[in-house]
Structure 1
Amino acid sequence: MESDVSSGGNPGSDTDPDAAWSPLAALDALDRQIVHALQVDGRAPFNRLAQVLGVSDQTVARRYARLRREGAVRVLGLTDPLRLGLTPWLVRVRCTPDAAASIGEALARRTDTRWVSLTSGGTEIFCVTHAARAGEADALLLQKLPRTPRVVGVAAHALLHVFFGGDHSPVSRTGPLGPDEIRALTAPDAPARPPDTSEPVRLGPADHRMLEVLAIDGRTSAADLATATGWSQTTVRRRLSELRSCGALYYDLDFGGGRLFPELRTGLWLEVDPACLAEVGAALAGHHQIAFAAAITGNANVYASLTCKDPEALYRYLTGPIAALPGLRRTETAPIHRLLKGAGPFPL
């Protein structure tokens, strides 16, 4: 739906009735702690997780294996395309009503797409895409989609800056761990400040082989990564630390189609005065409903993905925190009908 919003909007109540809700509510207390710990550091050894959580190594390993087997959670090692000199595109594909599902499933099978979903009553597909390597053409945008039968229209927005996302998710805000536990779990090679983005990070053939393995399982052992790359385990560990500390590599959780995040997921497109863009981005990054927020090109210059527990919670969020954003001219919401693919390049 679309609505014109005057600047300033309705500030809403100081007390958020939805603040106590957590997308991890379907899990028991220990599983919630493990998931939050993995969001902090997806490659943390099980013995370090166990020490911080006060349980045995075997318990943590067994719990994570069950969550992964059930499709509830898996750790992915992913790259930040902006740090690699690549331009991510947020693509909206309008299809004839009988074609969206099949075209969406075809897009989900491609390794150059992420976050493929059916929105707007099942007639529109949303996805994120970028070329696999610097210097390669964005074949999906330039060749494939415009020539696909039953595609009515394609709109592409270049992603310019991420306000919230990467190795952060709603779990980062609503998880059960406290500040001391988070500090104890934070990886020593995690970027302590925004990395220098003046020059893109260059990857070699062995880097690409290692990153392909991590995109399937971010907890792949150093021994298996050494086999994939031809490096020694020491070189693997050093290169992982280098890519992590410069911001090129991060670890995220993919919740697949399992028991987590079954609630109302919505894409939010905002048209914001350019002078207010940074302020709006910082505000969105602090909202517990936001799973991802970024500045993009186009009339709608901010995109956000959000999760609310039900339609009433979405209404309260749109008429409260969103309406109160400075410089807001227009909003558009696109409820996600079906998620076909998540954060990684390879579907489950």
Structure 2
Amino acid sequence: MAILDDVDRALIHALHLDGRAPFTKIGEVLGVSTQTIARRYRRLRAEASLRVVGLPDPQRAGQAEWMVRLTATPHTAQDLAHALARRADTAWIKLMSGGTEICVNVHTPAASDHALLLRDIPRTASITAVSAHQLLHRYFGGPTAWLGRARFLDDAQIAALTPAFAGPGKPLTADDAALLAELARDGRASLAELATATGWSASTVARRLADLQAGGTVFFDLEVDTRPLGATTHALLWMAVAPAHLDAVARELATHPELAIVAATTGPANLVAHALCDDAAALHRYLTQRLGALEAIRTLETAPVLRTIKAAASR
């Protein structure tokens, strides 16, 4: 596991703000050489699983987003999780709760027949239980993911590195498929590499990418091993909140630096969150002190994350 110093942490924060920021710009803002930034980036990729990925916003892409919870027999759960990871419509696959539960994020076309949900899963004999929960609204997550990686730059540095996009943005079309596939592989792919992947000119790629980013149709997420950043304990939190208080509670949770996602969902638990804490004691304090102070939360299920099998996009 990588040992991070101040330059590493500042670089991670910079890429959190703008995953495609040139190394020259990051170096200028951080006060170090471009060569140092490039060298640190390569080391973090190798030792801390650092990765920038370009992703479509599910709502703007016309996708329905689900969290599917599967319980499998102990000797098959890992194989099943890896099989699900090979699918293009899955992300954030986590092995949980003693290694027999899998939680998988599924994106499907809004008008599809939901093949994974309705056909593929029931045919897998090793699965003993399934529940599917549609995400109705993300209060936090995606392009504003876990703030624990974004606390190392000062206000002036943040302002210098935060991109400003003008215009309403453009919707995705079928012609964008090759561009999205390459950005999911490497969000920092050069314009020349993107041009090769799409068959477009570099100037066309630059214009199209700017149009898609402007309105948030495409955003850049940052994957990184959170342990060197201090978050060694992860858990999914499934909460039941009185409907009249759901919006207020979710907006409050969206300000908590311990959380990487907050979303309203269908099912007995109508609010889900992903917590990242320093250790088990810190998670306990968060549950009892911060969440415990919110009386509108009627029930809370804590599901520890043992391992992330797949992150935001396929590798």
| CA distance, structure 2, for counterparts of residue 256 and residue 175 of structure 1 | 16
Q: Work out whether 1:310 is the aligned partner of 2:279.
A: yes
**Segment of structure 1 superposing worse, 31-40 or 94-103:** 94-103
Q: Which secondary structure state, in structure 2, belongs to the residue aligned with residue 30 of structure 1?
A: helix
Tell me the TM-score normalized by structure 1.
0.85
Q: Work out whether 1:152 is the aligned partner of 2:128.
A: yes
Unaligned 5+ segments in structure 2 are none
Q: Work out whether 1:238 is the aligned partner of 2:215.
A: no
Instruction: Give the AA of the match of 2:91.
Output: R
Residue 326 (structure 1) shift: 4.4
Q: Which secondary structure state, in structure 2, belongs to the residue aligned with residue 340 of structure 1?
A: strand
In structure 2, relative to structure 1, the CA distance for the partners of 1:328 and 1:340 (3 Å cut) is same
Identity %: 47
User: May I ask how many residue pairs the two structures share in their alignment?
Assistant: 315
Instruction: Give the AA of the match of 1:79.
Output: P
2:22 aligned residue (21, 45, 49): 45
Q: Work out whether 1:205 is the aligned partner of 2:182.
A: no
Corresponding residue for residue 63 of structure 2: 86
Instruction: Give the AA of the match of 1:154.
Output: V
1:73 aligned residue (22, 28, 50): 50
Residue 116 (structure 1) shift: 0.5
| CA distance, structure 2, for counterparts of residue 228 and residue 84 of structure 1 | 21
In structure 2, relative to structure 1, the CA distance for the partners of 1:28 and 1:71 (3 Å cut) is closer
Alignment of 1:1-348 (within 5 A): 26-131=3-108, 133=109, 135-171=111-147, 174-189=150-165, 202-255=171-224, 259=228, 263-344=232-313, 346-347=314-315
| CA distance, structure 2, for counterparts of residue 256 and residue 223 of structure 1 | 29
Instruction: Give the AA of the match of 2:250.
Output: G
Per-residue CA deviations over 1:221-253 (Å, capped at 9, x if unaligned) read 111111111222121111111111111111111
Q: Which secondary structure state, in structure 2, belongs to the residue aligned with residue 92 of structure 1?
A: strand
| CA distance, structure 1, for counterparts of residue 2 and residue 197 of structure 2 | 38
| CA distance, structure 2, for counterparts of residue 261 and residue 140 of structure 1 | 35
| CA distance, structure 1, for counterparts of residue 2 and residue 290 of structure 2 | 23
Q: Which secondary structure state, in structure 1, belongs to the residue aligned with residue 185 of structure 2?
A: coil
Query: Greater RCO between the two (CA within 8 Å, min separation 6)?
Result: 1
Instruction: Give the AA of the match of 1:103.
Output: L
Asked if 2 retains the 8 angstrom alpha-carbon contact of 1:36 and 1:171, the reply is no
Tell me the TM-score normalized by structure 2.
0.94
Per-residue CA deviations over 1:100-139 (Å, capped at 9, x if unaligned) read 11111111121211110111111110010012x5644322
Corresponding residue for residue 21 of structure 1: none
Instruction: Give the AA of the match of 2:266.
Output: T
| CA distance, structure 2, for counterparts of residue 294 and residue 173 of structure 1 | 20
| CA distance, structure 1, for counterparts of residue 67 and residue 74 of structure 2 | 21
Asked if 2 retains the 8 angstrom alpha-carbon contact of 1:26 and 1:260, the reply is no
**Segment of structure 1 superposing worse, 81-90 or 247-256:** 247-256
| CA distance, structure 2, for counterparts of residue 241 and residue 40 of structure 1 | 16
Instruction: Give the AA of the match of 2:174.
Output: P
Alpha carbon RMSD of aligned pairs, Å? Answer: 2.2
| CA distance, structure 1, for counterparts of residue 129 and residue 61 of structure 2 | 29
Per-residue CA deviations over 1:285-321 (Å, capped at 9, x if unaligned) read 1111101111111121111001111111111100111
Per-residue CA deviations over 1:193-221 (Å, capped at 9, x if unaligned) read xx79xxxx642333111000000100001
| CA distance, structure 2, for counterparts of residue 171 and residue 227 of structure 1 | 34
